[in-house]
Amino acid sequence: MSAQIAALLRRAILTGELEPGAQLVESALAISLGASRGPLREAMRQLVDEGLLVSVPYTGTRVVDISIQDINDIYAMRTCLEQFAFQQIWEQRDEAFKAELLLRNEALKAAIDQADDVGSIEAELDLHGLAYELAGNRILLNSWISLRGHLQMYWASHHRAHGMRGPKRESHDDYVRHALGPSLQAMQDELRDHMRRGLETTKAFVEARTQTKAEDS
């Protein structure tokens, strides 16, 4: 039960259905989910530990509001960890890996073509996830899952609330090309640039938004 609730809430948070800053009241939620407060509390505690919720004693628990500083940190970690992942898998890339990578890039393009923004975000993260999955390091994979969750939440909420656009159709062609190419160093460089571009895009949107907001008031 508590695992199902956790999954349900996690999905609601990650898709932006529950917006950052929204408070989750135990009694109300428990009733609407048809469960008791016990399992619900357990699920919420788990999401707190995953960094998706933040709880202050006797006051309430809310969906975290990720700061631009956090986004900076996340991108720095992504660069580091994804470079590491490719370093680990580089020699063992086989036909199955190449096929899967191309498949996920096609899935990303398909989601974009359907104007499915939440799906595009998921597809992009799935594409990046392949390297982590194949590295065979459980701890590395867990770190990625955590980073992935925060990015997904951030993007989804900004998309929903402020019209942030999803990824572009060709955005990962270079990524895939280098990932299939012969030079690990070239891939490392591409990763560094790819992340830099991604970070700049996100930052630019946030800054433009805060400026608009300032003009409104």
Partner DNA sequence: ACATTGAAGATTGTCAACAATAATATATCA
Partner DNA sequence: TGATATATTATTGTTGACAATCTTCAATGT
Interface positions with DNA (CB under 7 A): 1-2, 23-28, 35-39, 41-42, 55-61
Running DSSP on this structure, what letter comes out for residue 62?
E
Distance, in Å, from the CA atom of 215 to the CA atom of 217, rounded to the nearest integer, reads 6
How far apart (Å, rounded) are the C-alpha atoms in residues 20 and 61?
11
For residue 126, state whether it binds a second copy (rule: CB under 8 A): no
Please say which residue, 61 or 83, places its beta carbon nearer to DNA: 61
* Residue 187, token pair as written in the block: 């891939």
Q: Which of 17, 29, 35, 84 binds a second copy (CB under 8 A)?
A: 84
Secondary structure of residue 54 in the 3-state scheme: strand
216 binds a second copy (CB under 8 A): no
In the bound state with a second copy, the residue whose beta carbon lies nearer, of 104 and 194, is 194
Comparing C-alpha atoms, which of 50, 44, 53 is closest to residue 2? Answer: 44
Q: Out of 17, 65, 70, 116, point to the residue binding a second copy (CB under 8 A).
A: 70
Nearer to a second copy, 81 or 127 (CB): 81
Rank residues 75 and 175 by Cβ distance to a second copy and give the closer one: 75
Instruction: Provide the angle, in degrees to the nearest 10, between the axes of the packed helices 68-89 and 117-135.
Output: 40
> What residue 26 binds from a second copy, DNA, none (CB within 5 to 8 A, per partner kind)?
DNA
Q: What, of DNA, a second copy, none, does residue 139 touch, CB below 5 to 8 Å by kind?
A: a second copy
Nearest to 70 by CA among 62, 82, 78: 78
Q: How far is the CB of 136 from a second copy (least distance, A)?
A: 8
Phi, psi at residue 112, to the nearest 5°?
-65, -40
Q: Which of 82, 51, 65 is nearest to 23 (CA)?
A: 65
Minimum distance of a second copy from residue 183's CB (angstroms): 20
DSSP, collapsed to helix, strand or coil, labels residue 114 as coil
- The residue from 143, 160, 193, 203 that contacts a second copy (CB under 8 A) is 143
Q: Which does 160 bind (CB under 5 to 8 A by kind): DNA, a second copy, none?
A: none
Return all residues near 49 (Cβ < 8 A) that are at least 6 apart.
none
Asked if residues 85 and 135 have their Cβ atoms less than 8 Å apart, the reply is yes
Q: Please, which residue, 23 or 212, has the CB nearer to DNA?
A: 23
**Partner whose footprint covers residue 201, from a second copy, DNA, none (CB < 5 to 8 Å by kind):** none
- Please, which of residues 1-60 interact with a second copy by CB under 8 A? 38, 41-42, 45-46, 49-50
